[in-house]
């Protein structure tokens, strides 16, 4: 890394407390194993607009090292240095690295240019976010591991979800020599196109609550596009249509390919009625159908992907992204994050939105898919690469990763409201065609029925993909399935097999349906 500076290096003794966010509750405290924590920065520079940028990273080097290196992926717009714990990775003895992808949400924040998304106005900062910061930070971490322990890491792994999944795909596609095994969950490998879908969804649902006189949508009303009982009614229709296709009606739609839009709509239409908390209007059904068909231009050309009908549609993990929480808080993440990301990071030239979330909603409602969507592929000074070239990592050609023996696991939730599982499966089909039908020898996609974005939903969303890729790399054992757990409170509720696409789990009709061994 150029101009690498170690800002801090501290020994953390056994039992050092670390606060972990509580995700809706108070922070939790965990005790860490003995390790050296290194904080560093590099490539510090002043951009043309006066913003000061640098790549910041954190590396944790455990005393009880297992001989492995683990790179922890980021999330969202990045801009914060990850905790370098990677779940229980540090506890298991991995040396763990995390970074901020070249911008700092606190320092690089301009209210007049989309707040912390201002980095999208700078070509280098956008490229660092997309992929350019990845390989140099990995190489720095690997060099420090060798210096600290006196020997190189025996095996090198990456694990991330969402933007972290996009980063895993960037390593597999652009830097295939770096890692032996990669977990790229819910991969945002088509981020610019998924941002178009965020604009599209906001329009479909916003029109349901638009002011009849002006057509304007107020941010506080977007969450009223569907009531909680209405979304439960949609889930009920999906379950009626598709739940039993995997051999058991248990609230999980396991056989996704048999759950066609026509089957679901046939169960939805009888739920239309003039009033009532769980009634659906024809306009609401059409808005959902349009959303799940994905964004299109005036000629009907698909601009992203279709979606599966989400069996977790009534879960907070789906509605918070699409329309916002019940009561309007938090507002829709498609507006809070999606609009500003679309305007800053995924458009050339970038567009400065008015301050505040209402400005993002107005931008989304006015977005023209004929005029504005091509901005994801546009190159214009000072940008020498388009947003798609910088951030899109959807290349199905993994031949270099395959040749060097790399292994890739891709878990993805069926009810993910941000990145379409249908797009991930289409990508696998393309990769399999290029690999002459042998892609499963080095990459496996695991759909997770009911799961929202990276977790949550009515799903068996607890599984250990990292352990699976380690066994694949080090013992030559490809994962025939992942055993996943549904947890309610502190007690496991049931386990289920997650099968690699195109397989799906089916109940054997004899054993305990709560036991994965019966599937």
Decide if 62 contacts 90 (C-beta within 8 A). yes
Decide if 229 contacts 278 (C-beta within 8 A). yes
Tell me how far apart the alpha carbons of residues 427 and 410 are, in angstroms, rounded to a whole number: 11
3-state SS, 409-434, equals EEEEECCCCCCCHHHHHHHHHHHHHH
Helix, strand, or coil (residue 482): strand
CA distances from 1 to 47, 123, 138, 425 (A): 18, 19, 10, 36
Read off the tokens for 92.
């298991």
The candidate with the shortest Cα–Cα distance to 378, out of 337, 350, 341, is 350
Decide if 181 contacts 472 (C-beta within 8 A). yes
The candidate with the shortest Cα–Cα distance to 58, out of 45, 76, 71, is 71
Q: What are residue 31's phi and psi, to 5 degrees?
A: -100, 130
The candidate with the shortest Cα–Cα distance to 236, out of 204, 284, 271, 201, is 271
Look-up of token digits 């878990």 = 411
CB atoms within 10 A of CB 21: 10
Tell me how far apart the alpha carbons of residues 506 and 497 are, in angstroms, rounded to a whole number: 9
Q: Which positions are catalytic?
A: 162, 416, 453
Which residues, at least 6 apart from 304, have a Cβ–Cβ distance to it below 8 Å? Answer: 190, 193, 194, 196, 197, 200, 294, 295, 420, 423
Tell me how far apart the alpha carbons of residues 247 and 505 are, in angstroms, rounded to a whole number: 9
Tell me how far apart the alpha carbons of residues 312 and 232 are, in angstroms, rounded to a whole number: 9
3-state SS, 28-67, equals EEEEECCEEEEEEEEEEEECCCCCEEEEEEEEEEECCCCC
Q: Which helix (H) or strand (E) element contains residue 10?
A: strand 5-12
């Amino acid at each position: 890394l150029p101009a690498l500076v170690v800002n801090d290096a501290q020994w953390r003794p056994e039992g050092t407390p670390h606060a972990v966010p509580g995700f809706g509750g108070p922070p939790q405290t965990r005790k860490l194993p003995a390790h050296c924590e290194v904080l560093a920065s590099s490539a510090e520079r002043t951009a043309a607009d006066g913003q000061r940028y640098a790549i910041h990273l954190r590396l944790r080097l455990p005393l009880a090292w297992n001989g492995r290196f683990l790179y922890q992926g980021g999330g969202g717009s990045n801009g914060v240095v990850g905790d370098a714990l990677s779940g229980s990775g540090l506890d298991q003895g991995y040396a763990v690295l995390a970074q901020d992808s070249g911008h700092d949400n606190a320092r690089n924040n301009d209210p007049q240019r989309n707040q912390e998304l201002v980095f999208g106005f700078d070509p280098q900062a956008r490229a660092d976010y997309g992929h350019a910061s990845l390989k140099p930070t990995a190489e720095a971490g690997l060099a420090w591991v060798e210096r600290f322990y006196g020997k190189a890491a025996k095996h090198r792994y990456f694990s991330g979800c969402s933007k972290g999944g996009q980063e895993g795909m960037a390593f597999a596609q652009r830097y295939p020599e770096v890692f032996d095994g990669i977990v790229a969950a819910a991969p945002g490998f088509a981020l610019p196109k998924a941002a178009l879908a965020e604009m599209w969804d906001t329009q479909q649902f916003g029109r349901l609550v638009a002011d009849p006189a002006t057509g304007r949508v107020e941010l506080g009303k977007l969450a009223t596009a569907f009531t909680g009982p209405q979304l439960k009614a949609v889930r009920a229709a999906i379950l009626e249509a598709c739940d039993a296709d995997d051999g058991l009606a248990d609230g999980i739609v396991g056989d996704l390919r048999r759950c066609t839009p026509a089957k679901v709509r046939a169960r939805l239409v009888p739920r239309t009625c003039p009033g009532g908390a769980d009634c659906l209007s024809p306009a609401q059904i059409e808005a959902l159908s349009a959303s799940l068909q994905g964004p299109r231009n005036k000629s009907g050309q698909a601009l992203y992907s279709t979606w599966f009908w989400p069996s977790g549609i009534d879960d907070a993990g789906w509605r918070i992204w699409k329309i916002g929480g019940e009561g309007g808080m938090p507002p829709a993440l498609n507006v809070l994050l999606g609009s500003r990301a679309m305007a800053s990071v995924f458009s050339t030239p970038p567009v400065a939105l008015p301050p505040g979330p209402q400005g993002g909603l107005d931008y989304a409602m006015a977005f023209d898919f004929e005029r504005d969507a091509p901005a994801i592929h546009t190159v214009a000074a000072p940008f020498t690469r388009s947003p798609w070239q910088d951030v899109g990592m959807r290349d199905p050609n993994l031949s270099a990763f395959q040749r060097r023996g790399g292994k890739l696991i891709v878990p993805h939730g069926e009810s993910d409201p941000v990145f379409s599982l249908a797009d991930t499966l289409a990508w696998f089909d393309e990769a399999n065609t290029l690999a002459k039908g042998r892609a499963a020898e080095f990459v496996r996609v695991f759909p997770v029925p009911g799961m929202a974005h990276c977790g949550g939903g009515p799903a068996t969303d607890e599984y250990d993909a990292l352990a699976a890729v380690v066994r694949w790399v080090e013992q030559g054992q490809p994962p025939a399935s992942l055993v996943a757990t549904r947890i309610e409170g502190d007690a496991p509720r049931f386990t289920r097999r997650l099968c690699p696409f195109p397989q799906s789990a089916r109940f054997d009709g004899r054993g305990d349906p709560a036991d994965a061994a019966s599937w």
